[in-house]
Each structure stands twice: as C-alpha cells, then as structure tokens.
Amino acid sequence: MLLGLLERYWENKMLPQHLIAKVEDYSKKYKISDKDQKEILKRVEEIYNKAKISPGESIGVITAESFGEPSTQMTLNTFHFAGVAEMNVTVGLPRLIEIFDARKRPSTPRMEIPIKSKYSRTVEAVREVAMKIKETKLGDIAQEISINIAKATIEIVLDKKKMRDLDIKPKLVLDKIAEGLKSVDVKDNDSSVILKSKEKEISLSEVYKLKEKAKSIHIRGLQGVTHVLPVKGDDGNYIIHCAGSNLKDALLLEEAEKERIMTNDIFEISDVLGVEAARAAIINEANKVIKDQGIDIDIRHVMFLADVMTRSGTVKGVTRTGIVGEKESVLARASFETPIKHIVNASLVGEKDNLNSVVENVIINQPVPLGTGLPGLIAKMKKD
Amino acid sequence: MVENYVYKKVDSVVFGMMSPELVKKMACAKVVTPELYDKEGYPVDGGLMDIRLGVIDPGLRCKTCGGNLRDCMGHFGYLELARPIIHLKYADVILNFLRCSCRECGKLLTDKKVKIAVEEDEGAEHHAEEEAGEDEVSTKKQVKSITSSLRNVKKCPHCGAKQFQVKLERPTTFLEDDKRLNPIDIRTRLERISDSDIAFLGLDPSFARPEWMVLIILPVPPVTIRPSITLETGERSEDDLTHKLGDIVRINQRLFENINAGAPEIIIEDLWDLLQYHITTYFDNEVSQVPPARHRSGQALRTLTERIKSKEGRFRHNLAGKRVNYAARTVISPDSKMELNEVGVPIEVAMELTVPERVVEWNLKRLKKFVENGPKKYVGSNYVVRPDGKKKKITDETQEQLLEELQPGYIVERHLMDGDIVIFNRQPTLHRMSIMAHRVRVLPGKSFRLNPAICNPYNADFDGDEMNLHVPQTEEARAEAEILMEVQTQIITPKSGLNVIGCSDDAITGNYLLTKNIKMSKEDAVQMLHSVGVLNIERFDKFKKTVDGKEIFSAILPDGFDFSGYSKSKEPIVIKNGYLIEGVIDKSTIGQDKGDLIRALYAKYGSSVGLDLLGKIFRLGIAVLLKHGFTTSIADTDLPQEVSDKCKETIYNSERRVAQLIEQYSSGELEALPGLTLEATLEAKIMEVLNRCRQRVGEIIAESNLEENSTLVMALSGAKGSYLNLSMIAACVGQQALRGKRIELGYRGRTLSIFTKGELSPRAKGFIKRGYKEGLTPEEYFMHAMTGRDSLMDTALRTPKSGYLYRRLASALQDIRVEYDNTVRDANQNIVQFIYGEDGLDVSKTEGGKINVARIIREVLGE
C-alpha cells in the first residue's frame, strides 16, 4: 500500500521524481504512517502545482538576467593557485566568458586523473605514474642537441640519468624519433644518436629547422600535459592534477580510474564523449565558477543555458557566430551585431522575417510574443 | 465609445534588392541638379531638396501627397547615373558570379554532369533537397563548394570560350587577367546569367538579379530622413547625406556633359572613378583603403552604413530602444515612513505627468472638478481629448469651453494622484527587480522618495542617485503593472529563489536589540508600535506594565503564525501562535537574501500582507533605535590591554618565524617542496605564516568576549561590519596581495627605496601589521594604496566585459519561452527543454530553488 501510493505518483508523473524520493526517504526515516504520507503527498503536490512555471514565461530573459546581474559583481583578475605558477586556473568572470563563448581551448586547460588504489599505495608508485602521464619530449631527455655543420647532421646526446629516472629505454627513443621524423635516417652510436637527412642536398637552415622539430618529438606521456601534481584525495587515493588536457589518451591509461577523470576542456569532452557529456561539462564548469565566486544562481538557469548551447548537437557559443548568428529572424540578428552584413545577405535570397520573436516586434511597435503578449483572443462575432 | 482597435498587424518583413525598374517606379522625382535652393531659399525642382520628396519646412506642402510637415513621411526620388557603378556591398557576390559564369555565353562554367557531382560531394543529407528541381536555391554550404570548384575552370564547357582569372581589387575594382574590367562589361556579363543558374548559386532571382548589383539608377532618399537644420543665423546646415548626394549629382552631371561633348577617354574614366568613389562613400564611409569623405572641418561624414551600425546606429539606438513620454527623473531620497510599494512623487512632477481618464456618467462630476482646476492647481488636468481624437490643452482661454462640452466619451488627462500605479526604474536595469511598479504618494519636496528597504533590488543608495518614473497610459498597462510588476510580486528573485527585499542596516540592529534585551513601559511600547503602523489592540491589552522586547516584536506578527528557524549564530528561534518565544531576530531571519521569517510570512499570508508586515518590522527596527539610542564611535574598537598584547605577540611571533625562514633560505637549509623552486617554497611558507597570523589575530578578538558595544552589535546582528572589519581597525590590517601574491619586488629588486635590495621581510612586501586606528606607516600606506588602485582598475575593466556578456546572453535567449505544453521553445518552436529545469518549477515560486518537503512533513506531523 505504502509503495503503491508513491508508485502511483511516480507513474502518473504527478510529482517530479526527486520530490517523491524525498518523501519516501523521510517516510522511512521517521516511520510515517500511510495516512500521514497520503496527506503529505497531497500537500506536496498542491505546493508543487502552485510553484509550476506558467506558460508564456520568458524564461530565456530570466536566465540572461540571472547571469548578467551577478556577473557585474564577479572579480576579474583572480587566479586560483594550486601551488605551482603553471598550475593556475582561470576563474571568475574570464572563465565564465570562456565557457559561454565555447572557445575551442580553455586558456588554462586542466585535467584531474584519479589513480586506482592499486597504484597509489606508495608515494614512489604515484610519482612513477605521474611521470608517465607528464609529456616527455626529446628535448627534455637530451643532454645536448648539436648540429654538425660539415656533415649536415644532428647529434643528440641523451641524458642517461634522466632517462633512468623516468624509466625510458633508448630503444623507445629511437623508435619515436624514427616515427616523428620520417625524412631522416637515425643512427645510434653508443653515446649519441645521429640524425641525417635522407635527402642529399640540405641547407643549413633546414637542418636547423629539423633540430627544432627533433626537440619537440613526443617520447612518452599525454600530449599537452606540461605539468603534473599528485594530490592526496579524500579517500586516500591520489589524484594527479595536470596542466594541459588530453582526455582521449588519459582514458587509455591503465592506472587511471577512467570514470572519474575530469577535464575543463569542454570541446574535448564533446569530441570524446559526445554532446550530452559536453552539456554536463558546461553545467559543471559554470557551476564551479559561480560557487567559487560565492554567488547564488539556481542550477536550472545553468542547465537551461547549457541546453541552449548544445541543442543543435554540437557545442555552440553565445556569440555572433554561435547561437545568436543562427537565429532565423534577420532583424534579430541585425540588431545584435554586424547589421549591414545580415541585411545584405538577406536581400540576396529574399529572406522573410516572420516577426515571431522579440526584437523584431519591438522594432515595429507590436506586442512581443512572451508572457501576456502571447495569448491571442478570438471572439465569435455575431452576424447582424 | 470610440476605441482604437488594432485592425492591422505587420505579419512579416521581406528583404530583397531593388531592380532599376522598381526604383524608378517608386520614385516621385528625378534628380537632375546638385542645387538645393534658389535665391529665395525655395527648394529647386529636380534638386535634392525637391518638395516632391517630402517637406521639412513648416508651411510648405508636399507636391506628391499634399501633406504638411506632420503628415508627409517623404518620398523617394531617383538619379540616373551616367555610367554604371559597382555597389560596394555586393562586390563579393559580383566576383562570385563573374568567376562562375562564362565570359562569352554567360552560362555556368559547368555542365549538368559536373553539377550533380558537386551536389553529391555534399553528402547524403542534402540529397533530398537537390532532387527537388533545377530552380531550387542552393544552401550556403553548397554554394561555397560550387564556387570554389568553378574558380579555376579554363574553358567554358558550353561554348568553348577561354576563361581568365577574375580578381577583385578592393573595394570595387575588378581585374580580369590583370586588365581592368569596366562596370559596363561586368553588367552585360551579369545580365546574361540565367535565372536557374542564379538559383544554383544560392540567390533568389526574383529578389536579386546580379546585374542589379551594378547600379545604373540610384534611389534618392526622401528629405525627411536627411533634414537640414536652420542655425540661429538663418543659415541652413545640410545633413551629411545631402552633402554626399550633392557630390554624387554634381559629378554625375559633369560626367554626362563630358560624355556628350565627346571628351577624351581619360577624362571620362577619371570622372567615372570619382563617381564610383562618391557612391562608395555614400554607402559606407569607413571602407578600408578608401579615404573617408569629410566635412570642410575635417570631420568624417556619417553616411548610410554608419547610420545603421553600432550602438548609436538606427538599430540599437532608435529601433530596439525608444523614447517615451509620461516619464520623469529626479534625485531619490529615503523615507522609511512610507510603505515599501509606494513612491514619493514631488508635486511639481505630479502636475506634469498625467493619467488619461475616460469620462463616464459616474465620474463626470469628479473629472469636471479636475478640468476646473486646470493645469496650475493640484489635482487638476492638463489636456482634454475629444471623442474624435482631438487633443485640447487646458488654458485660461479654453478652460470654460471645455468644461462646458465635457461629457461621457471625452478623456481627461488628470494629474497624478495618490494611489496611481507608476513604474519606477533605476539604471542599470540589470534584472527585472530594477523596474517595479509603485503606488504614488504625492509629497512636497523635489526628490522621489522611496523606502530604504527596497534599495537592494534597485541597487540604489542616496548619494545622488537618480531614478526614472513612468506613468502607464492604458488600462491594460496599468493592470499588467499592478499584477506582474508591483513591489510585492518581486520579493523573491527568480535568480535563486531568495528574497531580495528585506531589512537592512538599522532595521536589523533595532530588531536585534529589541528582541535581545530591551524592556520598556507599556505606554512606550504602544506608542512605538502605533507610530510604526501596528494597531493590534488585542495584543496591546495583554501587555503588562513593563513589556519585554520579544512581546513588542510579536505584536506585529499575526495570530496563529508558527515559525522555527535559526539565528545567525545558529541558535534556535521559535515563534508559536504569533509570539516570539525563543531566540533573537537578526539578519538571517529578516535580512535580505536569506530572511527566513520574511519568506515564511510571505508564503503564508501572501505578497501584500507579507510586504506590509515587512514594512512594519523595518520601521519598528528604526523606531527602536530612535527610542533606545544607538551610535558607534571609534572607542568601540578599543581592545582591552591583554587582548591587544596578545595580538601584538602573535604578530611578533609571526615576524620572527618569517625571519627564521629567510635565514634558513639564505643559509641553504630550506628544503624545496615538491614541484616548487626554493624561492617559491620560501614564498609559500612566508605567505602561510602571515595569513595564519592575520587569521589568528581575528580569532583572538573573536574569542576575547568583548563587552557588547555598538560596533559589535552591528556585526553580531549582521547589520553592517564583521569581526574581520573590527580586527582590521583594532589590531592588524594584514597582507596586501596583488594577483594572489605578496607585492612583487619589481625590476630594481625592492618595492620602495627605503628597503634593501632583495629584502623579503613581511613589511617590505606589503604586510601591514598595524590596524587602521593605530595608523599606517608610510610604507604600509603605500602598499595599501597599491591594492586599492588594483581593485579600482578591476572594477573599471570588469564592467564593460560583463556588460557585453550580458548583452550576448540576452540577445541569444530573449525569444525562449515556456509553451502551453510546458516545453521550453524558442520563437520558431524548436524545443530546448521538454520540461523547464527538469521538474517544471519556477525558481521564483520556490524556496531557494527547492520545495521544502521537510517543512510540509513537520506541518502534517506537528499537529
């Protein structure tokens, strides 16, 4: 009987699930009788129905206001310090702008990779994992990279100690060089690696370019991760904070707890995991900024904006090239930015503006189709 | 009764190009001479100010429509160009057409086979559209791939003619194989392109033929959009557009004459180029690589594009934002004796702003009185509108006549009166609570008066702020303002579901003191309550000889009101049956944002009663302070000797500790933390020590059980100030931080020249160990000024950034609404959410975004 009542509410969608769940929790906790529960549900439903949003509510404007008003109170040039200067994160208004603009790359990409408990028993083990995650380039493990001008070759002296520290085998280095530079022959002397171009004639500047290219050859780790910082999490397992983000490769890591990897790069999430994940990421990231600034904005507004940004299937920014630029109304687009361009382009195809959104109607002095401007009345006229 | 029914509505607006035929058809005059006026100052026929193009002078009548200055909205004319001119804004489109069509036969540089191949490249998703037919307009994406694939075709597949590369030299010169193409040739080529090919290239040929982009006829805009101004000297100053058009007409005439006279080709070419330049700048005077046309004074002309563009342009300045009548603006000042939903209006303003009231049988007498009073006596009227729509000003001459003829059906525009609904607004209007409806209260004085309790939603203070007031003019507008915009409907913000209106400052302090430890005689209590507007005689009867503060406070609350909550210091507050039994009222019960008691009253008794009670609580707080006396002085921040000593000791110890760290660092004993350099380690450790020092000082003061004085009362009640402020005044200001670090040493290795180079001591890097009261040393003062300046800059830089973000958000989201089926959709019915916020709740109708299930359960079980 007890479950039956709750089930009825659930099945008929008379209440949102979280409210039913709450009632159920309390009922169990305080051993509420069926009669009381019925009364409680009745009252909750009554209050819920009163609090439902009215049709016609201009929810878009309300959301814009909810972000716009407090954004004037946010701080601008604050950085979050995680100890190291390179590990800083953009926060506050600049970060919020970054999220809503849907920039392709965040200005400070960051990733958090939790380590499986198996690998996080000792500090050394964690350190080892961390070094595996951090990107190592050829330049990092080379003692010296020099150009032999006479022979037009590049000589790389590897730092054996560093390589031992990082647990990198010379074989791997050679393979990676061969892979990264297809136009050179790689010769392995005992003390050094010599690169020689496959082409016979090669100018010095080209050799120099090759040297620079060689320096940045990726040897190991996640590409783009420039710094790592292991931090002990609440559960005793380590979390590796990374400056730079590479979700795709991080997911292939054996040591990582894949389900809990976090990155602040929304586009990467969109590419790797899809739009729904990107939507969740937008909500998370925006919420983080809001919470961090001590501002109260209801989650519904954040969800709503994330929905608007992702509804087309890809992440779109709140910019003239993103959401605003894709409005159907010419006048709405023209009154936002670059009006001439929009009008000229509209004239080419004979675009028709059906005046069904807001600014167009403001422009021609008609009621706006929101709120009280939405309903129309049709009266049956008596025939004389 | 005559009503202004809306019988026509604009359904849609279509954009398109104008063909030369259309321009000619809609024109009312042909412009042939650059002259504007003749010797008498009368507009010349065939000139740019021809009165067939509309009138801008009073007294003249339009030759086209016969209307005068008011009725005639102007008519277009046209100018026949001697030679074709490229339309600047369509140069790119022309280029596309030239590249994609054959120079000989005008056909697309592709046969059908290629066409289909191109379409298939686009992928299957467009396939259905492509099969729809030949005349179908291609999509933008398709066009791009078509044009890029046809760019380098060398030979026409239809006639076999050889093709050359066409280039556009910005802004308007076309080159074919490095030889200049003249607009006549361009136009003939464009003319040859067939309609179906145009459609294939993404244009609708019924709206935009490519040859229309090479102008042979220029529409001349009506004079009404380029009115001239008459200066005091009687001289006429023409509009920028008229100037520019004058140039165009002049050069055009010269070109005509030269052509007819058979002048050498070079001269004609030169004039042609000049004409092209003038028409280019007529359209857009900010084209790159084209010198802007200027006034004689050197100021650039504001031509068509500049008129439309940017914030001051037509769209954003005149179309999306409009000027209104029936508005007033003046300085605001506080008056806590008023209700929260009232606004005090100066009598001068009330006599200028009017409310139209329709005369019916029942109010005839009343309105007659207003007309009788006229515009100079208060509660009079300024205008009378006759049923035929004629508006008559009430003057000494007209008054009697109007009074006589006044009868049902007339409208009297009477002065603003007490109780009228007006809309009150303070800029910046960042959220909907920045513009609310109020009830008028006509008052002497010259400022708008408002209750200080509603400063928060408006973000107003009284240091010279000004606010605007608007009077709704129709019944519909008044009803909407009253139901949707009045102050009591806006107590809870849709941003977070918390109350934006609540007590602040003295109102909180007063109620805190009252409910904490004030007792007063029955007479005083009743007197005070009455002065605040509480007339609860049953409660007054129950008062004993001396009345406890809690009981006085309870007199405001309705019988049967139950509430339980927590104070700022987490102590329980219990209200039972309208009596405050336990606890002290403070910010967390009646304050802004988290005033639980306000919420509860609002939820139980509705918006109007809730607002009324809030007003009473607010006034009570102030009345208590008036009676009890409340002041704060610098002596309030005096610390007892032992507390002060303790603080000093803490600071001393910290300084010692920092010195030790520096010592360790310089002797090389300091060990680097993982991932940090030695210097960074030192810096991090010093920062930690100094921050802990600051914190500790705060704690010492908080723990020291100071005697409760006014400053402390304000901090404890949440009215103003905090322990942090107190300790900064009394003990130690603390570290001044720039960008999250101690103040950097700079290029010369020191912050100020009084320090040694490379000095890392607290004071050399901006630690202020003194409190404000003790006073800052010069170097401390300097560091303090640095952070002060930094925060000023931050504010100055943030405002435009956040403003732009807001504008973009508003533009992107403005048309999204909740539909009748509870889905959230945009203006074109595309669904954004199936149910708003996943549960369909309106945040402004919830408690902080939630439905309080626990309270409901308590209510049910509690009985």
Whether A318 is covered by a domain: the verdict is yes
Residue with tokens 């040039």: A77
Higher pLDDT, B125 or A116: A116
Higher pLDDT, B47 or A188: B47
Answer whether B233 touches A (CB < 8 Å): no
Question: What's residue B127's pLDDT?
Answer: 40
The answer to whether residues A6 and A30 belong to one domain is yes
The alpha-carbon gap from A211 to the nearest alpha carbon of chain B, in Å, equals 29
Whether B228 is covered by a domain: the verdict is no
Residues B594-638 pLDDT 10s: 888 998 898 889 999 999 999 999 999 999 999 999 998 888 888
Q: B312-334: b or e for each residue (b if 16 or more CB lie within 10 Å)?
A: ebbbbeebbeeeeebebebebbb
Does the pLDDT of residue B518 top 60, yes or no?
A: yes
Q: Do A344 and B431 touch (CB under 8 A)?
A: no
Whether A211 is covered by a domain: the verdict is yes
The overall longest dimension of chain B from CA atoms, in Å, is 115
CB contact residues (below 8 A), chain B span 572-631, against chain A: 593
The answer to whether residues B464 and B368 belong to one domain is yes
**B416 in Cβ contact with B442 (< 8 Å):** yes
Question: What's residue B352's pLDDT?
Answer: 93
**Structure token pair of residue A281:** 């990421």
**Structure token pair of residue B91:** 């140069």
The answer to whether residues B831 and B844 belong to one domain is yes
Question: What's residue A127's pLDDT?
Answer: 81
Residue B797 neighbours by CB under 8 Å, 6+ apart: A76
The alpha-carbon gap from B589 to the nearest alpha carbon of chain A, in Å, equals 18
Nearest CA in chain A to B835: A53
The answer to whether residues B485 and B345 belong to one domain is yes
The answer to whether residues B515 and B659 belong to one domain is no
Q: How far apart are the first and last CA of chain B?
A: 58
The alpha-carbon gap from A260 to the nearest alpha carbon of chain B, in Å, equals 24
Residue type, B591: G
| Alpha helices (H) in B704-833, listed in sequence order | 710-717, 723-730, 778-813
**Structure token pair of residue B484:** 């949707």
* Domain of residue B261, residue span: 239-322
Question: What's residue B107's pLDDT?
Answer: 78
CB contact residues (below 8 A), chain A span 197-256, against chain B: 227, 229
Rounded average pLDDT over B22-32 = 89
Answer whether A373 touches B (CB < 8 Å): no
Domain boundary, last residue among B297, B322, B347:
B322
A342: CATH: 1.10.150.390
Question: What's residue B675's pLDDT?
Answer: 62
Q: How many domains does chain B have?
A: 6
**A350 in Cβ contact with B207 (< 8 Å):** yes
Answer whether B517 touches A (CB < 8 Å): no
The answer to whether residues A71 and A94 belong to one domain is yes
Residue A94: half-sphere exposure toward Cβ, Cα within 13 Å: 14
Whether A166 is covered by a domain: the verdict is yes
Question: What's residue A143's pLDDT?
Answer: 79
Does the pLDDT of residue B426 top 90, yes or no?
A: yes
Whether A302 is covered by a domain: the verdict is yes
The three-class DSSP label of residue A32 is coil
Whether B789 is covered by a domain: the verdict is no
Rounded average pLDDT over B245-270 = 88
The alpha-carbon gap from A192 to the nearest alpha carbon of chain B, in Å, equals 30
The alpha-carbon gap from B788 to the nearest alpha carbon of chain A, in Å, equals 14
Whether A80 is covered by a domain: the verdict is yes
Q: Do A59 and B836 touch (CB under 8 A)?
A: yes
Question: What's residue B262's pLDDT?
Answer: 84
Whether B264 is covered by a domain: the verdict is yes
The pairs formed by B394-399 with CB atoms below 8 angstroms and a separation of 24 or more are: B399/B371, B399/B372, B399/B374
The answer to whether residues A289 and A351 belong to one domain is no
The three-class DSSP label of residue B105 is coil
How does the average pLDDT of chain B come out, rounded? 87
Whether A349 is covered by a domain: the verdict is yes
Does the pLDDT of residue B656 top 50, yes or no?
A: yes
The answer to whether residues A15 and A41 belong to one domain is yes
Answer whether B818 touches A (CB < 8 Å): yes
Whether B216 is covered by a domain: the verdict is no
Tens of pLDDT along chain A (384 residues)?
A: 455 777 777 777 788 888 888 888 888 888 888 888 888 888 888 889 989 999 999 999 999 999 999 988 887 665 555 455 556 778 888 889 999 998 888 888 888 888 888 887 888 888 888 888 888 888 778 877 888 777 777 888 888 777 777 777 777 877 887 777 777 777 777 777 777 777 767 777 877 887 888 888 888 888 888 888 888 877 778 888 888 888 888 888 888 888 889 898 999 999 999 999 999 999 999 999 898 888 889 999 999 999 999 998 899 999 888 888 888 888 888 888 888 888 888 888 888 888 888 999 999 888 899 999 888 877 887 766
Answer whether B803 touches A (CB < 8 Å): yes
DSSP string, B673-741: PTT--HHHHHHHHHHHHHHHHHHHHHHHHHHT-----HHHHHHHHTSS--HHHHHHHHT--EE-EETTE
Question: What's residue B236's pLDDT?
Answer: 81
B602: CATH: 1.10.274.100
* Domain of residue A31, residue span: 2-50
Per the rule left: phi > 0, alpha: psi between -120 and 50, beta: everything else, A196 is beta
pLDDT-wise least confident of B520-529, B666-675, B775-784:
B666-675
Count of other CB atoms within 10 angstroms of residue A312: 13
The answer to whether residues A315 and A339 belong to one domain is no
Q: Do A366 and B10 touch (CB under 8 A)?
A: yes
Rounded average pLDDT over B391-418 = 91
Question: What's residue B203's pLDDT?
Answer: 83
**Residue B208 banded pLDDT, cuts 50, 70, 90:** confident
The answer to whether residues B558 and B432 belong to one domain is no
Question: What's residue B529's pLDDT?
Answer: 93
**Structure token pair of residue B342:** 């009232």
DSSP string, B387-456: TTS-EEE--HHHHHHHHHH--BTBEEEEEP-TT-EEEEE-SS--SGGGEEEEEEEEESSSSEEE-GGGHH
Contact residues on chain A for B808, CB-CB shorter than 8 A? 100, 318-319, 324, 336
Does the pLDDT of residue B84 top 60, yes or no?
A: yes
Whether B299 is covered by a domain: the verdict is yes
The answer to whether residues B437 and B575 belong to one domain is no
Answer whether B863 touches A (CB < 8 Å): no
How many whole angstroms separate alpha carbon B512 and alpha carbon B688? 37
Whether A61 is covered by a domain: the verdict is no
Answer whether B320 touches A (CB < 8 Å): yes
Question: What's residue B135's pLDDT?
Answer: 45
Question: What's residue A1's pLDDT?
Answer: 45
Strands B435-443 and B342-346: parallel
B733: CATH: 1.10.132.30
Answer whether A104 touches B (CB < 8 Å): no
**Residue B158 banded pLDDT, cuts 50, 70, 90:** confident
Helix axes A266-273, A275-292, angle to 10 degrees: 150
CB contact residues (below 8 A), chain A span 112-171, against chain B: none
Residues B461-490 pLDDT 10s: 999 999 999 999 999 999 999 999 999 999
Does the pLDDT of residue B689 top 60, yes or no?
A: yes
A159: CATH: 3.30.1360.140
Q: How many domains does chain A have?
A: 4
Does the pLDDT of residue B704 top 90, yes or no?
A: no
The alpha-carbon gap from B684 to the nearest alpha carbon of chain A, in Å, equals 8
DSSP at B316: I
Whether B100 is covered by a domain: the verdict is yes
DSSP string, A125-158: HHHHHHHHHS-EEHHHHEEEEEEETTTTEEEEEE
Comparing C-alpha atoms, which of B524, B528, B530, B559 is closest to residue B545?
A: B524
DSSP at B210: G
ipTM score for this prediction: 0.88
pLDDT-wise least confident of A107-121, B147-161, B788-802:
B147-161
CA-to-CA separations, B134 to B117, B202, B323, in angstroms, rounded: 15, 12, 49
Domain boundary, last residue among B446, B463, B490:
B490
Q: Do B319 and A349 touch (CB under 8 A)?
A: no
Does the pLDDT of residue B653 top 90, yes or no?
A: yes
Higher pLDDT, A133 or B139: A133
Q: Do B805 and A68 touch (CB under 8 A)?
A: yes
Q: A90-106: b or e for each residue (b if 16 or more CB lie within 10 Å)?
A: bbbbbbbbbbbebeeeb
Whether B647 is covered by a domain: the verdict is yes
> Among B495, B815, B833, whose Cβ lies nearest the Cβ of A296?
B495
Rounded average pLDDT over B697-720 = 87
Whether B281 is covered by a domain: the verdict is yes
A320: CATH: 1.10.1790
The answer to whether residues B467 and B583 belong to one domain is no
The answer to whether residues A340 and A317 belong to one domain is no
**B598 in Cβ contact with B614 (< 8 Å):** yes
Residue with tokens 């916020």: B837
The answer to whether residues B611 and B687 belong to one domain is no
Whether A234 is covered by a domain: the verdict is no
Rounded average pLDDT over B360-368 = 92
Question: What's residue B779's pLDDT?
Answer: 93
Contact residues on chain B for A63, CB-CB shorter than 8 A? 809, 813
Comparing C-alpha atoms, which of B753, B732, B735 is closest to residue B683?
A: B735
Question: What's residue B104's pLDDT?
Answer: 79
> Among B675, B841, B846, whose Cβ lies nearest the Cβ of A84?
B675
The answer to whether residues B455 and B558 belong to one domain is no
Question: What's residue B54's pLDDT?
Answer: 83
Rounded average pLDDT over B358-378 = 92
Higher pLDDT, B458 or B673: B458
**A33 in Cβ contact with A27 (< 8 Å):** no
Residue B532 neighbours by CB under 8 Å, 6+ apart: B556, B616, B619, B620, B623
Answer whether B691 touches A (CB < 8 Å): no
Domain boundary, last residue among B490, B517, B533:
B490
Question: What's residue B138's pLDDT?
Answer: 60
**Structure token pair of residue B457:** 């939603």
Distance, CA of B712 to chain centre: 39
Question: What's residue B112's pLDDT?
Answer: 56
Question: Is the pTM value of this prediction over 0.90?
Answer: no
The answer to whether residues B734 and B714 belong to one domain is yes
The overall longest dimension of chain A from CA atoms, in Å, is 110
| Alpha helices (H) in B485-586, listed in sequence order | 506-517, 522-532, 537-542, 549-554
Question: What's residue B6's pLDDT?
Answer: 64
DSSP string, A186-238: EEE-SSEEEEEESSS---HHHHHHHHHHHHT-EEES-TT--EEEEEE-TTS-E
Rounded average pLDDT over B274-285 = 90
The answer to whether residues A85 and A152 belong to one domain is no
Beta bridge partners of B334: B450
Q: Do B207 and A349 touch (CB under 8 A)?
A: yes
The answer to whether residues B448 and B394 belong to one domain is yes
